[in-house]
Amino acid sequence: MSVAVLIEHREGHVSRPSLEALTLARTLGEPVAVWLGDAPTADAVAQLGEYGATEVRVAAVGADARLPAKAAAAVAAATEDATVVVVISTFANKEIVTRLAVLTGAGVVVDAAGAELVEGKVETTQTVFAATWNVRTRIDAERAIVGVRPNTTQASPAASPVEPNVVDIAVELPETRETVVSVEPIPQADGVALDEAPVVVSGGRGTGGDYSLIQDFAELLGGAVGASRDATDEGWISHEHMVGQTGTTVTPALYVACGISGAVHHRGGMQASGTIVAINMDPDAPIFEISDFGVVGSLFDVIPQAIERIAAHRAG
Ligand SMILES: Cc1cc2nc3c(=O)[nH]c(=O)nc-3n(C[C@H](O)[C@H](O)[C@H](O)COP(=O)(O)OP(=O)(O)OC[C@H]3O[C@@H](n4cnc5c(N)ncnc54)[C@H](O)[C@@H]3O)c2cc1C
């Protein structure tokens, strides 16, 4: 099975979810990496080889490749021989792969939590309807495109690293009515992007607007800071931290909800997380219904103790 993985990169660095996608792709076949933009550095190529990419196909498209129609054309050119294309299920990629599916006649599933080959066909798993149902989908088309959510596969290097060939792909981009004039990366203040973070520590109205403990806890766990809509509406923290139906959907390995009641709109954006921990003063808070671990108490008492115990455990 020939599998192509669209690599996400920022300032030359391969994103962690792309390594997860390569790890998943290895279970489906022999992956090649597709790289849109300026040529990757030797380090990036080596890392892709470490995760099993036998080839790195570089489509040196300019800033216009940020436009989904053009990106889809570039990916189509780089994946002509691929039976399966794997991408990370970001907002931008979801639009790119729907266009790619139209261009190539492939069947497409986005927001998958996993994929495997069953009798020669790709089957995906995903949670839907605010993570209240698990769905298994078989892609019957000859070509399959799978958008996988970050943190749903544990990234692990291949048993034996390969030295990928770097191949330039010539692409003729379609005319579009828009042109990208300039692209500038926005500095990421928090270090970890919310939708990619392996750990998310979120605070709600129960913080009373004091996010210092939430930030300390997130930092200790190497995670990102999330929030409920009430907290962002209060102006306690910016809207880009909002988790939920109208915010970001997250699927970290660990989600810690602090002072969040667990309204359906919030749950819809985090219920598919690996392990859910809730800290809430109200033993009847709905968040406990979906939590793996619950602590009834004030976050101002519980988080400092948790930080202390984790720090002591690490030191010991
Ligand atoms: C169309 C629509 C879309 C929406 N989209 C979203 C969305 O995307 N994301 C989202 O989050 N919400 C969304 N909402 C809002 C949602 O319905 C809830 O109002 C919101 O999630 C509640 O936020 P909260 O849990 O922080 O506040 P509350 O519901 O007020 O809960 C606060 C919790 O903190 C606990 N608490 C208080 N003090 C402490 C303390 N010291 N220590 C520990 N616990 C404490 C309380 O017991 C309580 O359970 C949406 C609503 C609508 C109508």
Q: What's the 3-state SS for the chain?
A: CEEEEECCEECCEECHHHHHHHHHHHCCCEEEEEEECCCCCHHHHHHHHHCCCCEEEEECCCHHHHCHHHHHHHHHHHCCCCCEEEEECCHHHHHHHHHHHHHHCCEEEEEECEEEEECCEEEEEEEECCCCEEEEEEECCCCEEEEECCCCCCCCCCCCCCCCEEEECCCCCCCCCCCCCCCCCCCCCCCCCCCCCCEEEEECHHHCCCCHHHHHHHHHCCCEEEECHHHHHCCCCCHHHEECCCCECCCCCEEEEECCCCCHHHHCCCCCCCEEEEEECCCCCHHHHHCCEEEECCHHHHHHHHHHHHHHHHHC
List the domain boundaries for the chain: 2-168, 199-315
Ligand 1 pocket by Cβ (under 6 Å):
204-206, 228-231, 242-247, 259-261, 263, 265-266, 269, 279-282, 285, 298-300
CATH class of 199-315: alpha beta
The arrangement of secondary structure in 2-168, i.e. its CATH architecture, is 3-Layer(aba) Sandwich (3.40)
- Is the pLDDT score of 296 beyond 70? yes
- Is the pLDDT score of 153 beyond 70? yes
* Ligand 1: centre distance to CA 162 (Å): 48
Structure token pair of residue 106: 């492939």
Rounded mean pLDDT, 221-228: 95
- Is the pLDDT score of 187 beyond 80? no
Its pTM surpasses 0.85: no
Rounded mean pLDDT, 130-142: 89
What is the per-residue pLDDT across 141-152, written as a single tens digit (0 to 9) for each? 999 999 999 888
Averaged pLDDT score across all residues of the chain: 93
> In percent, how much of the chain has pLDDT > 70?
97
- Is the pLDDT score of 269 beyond 60? yes
* Ligand 1: centre distance to CA 205 (Å): 6
Band the pLDDT of 316: cuts 50, 70, 90. confident
- Annotated ligand binding at 218? The verdict is no
For position 186, what pLDDT does the model report? 63
Given a contact cutoff of 8 angstroms between Cβ atoms, the answer to whether 7 and 48 are in contact is yes
- Annotated ligand binding at 262? The verdict is yes
- Annotated ligand binding at 205? The verdict is yes
Give the atom of ligand 1 at the shortest distance from the alpha carbon of 300: 41
Give the atom of ligand 1 at the shortest distance from the alpha carbon of 208: 38
Q: Do domains 2-168 and 199-315 have the same CATH topology?
A: yes
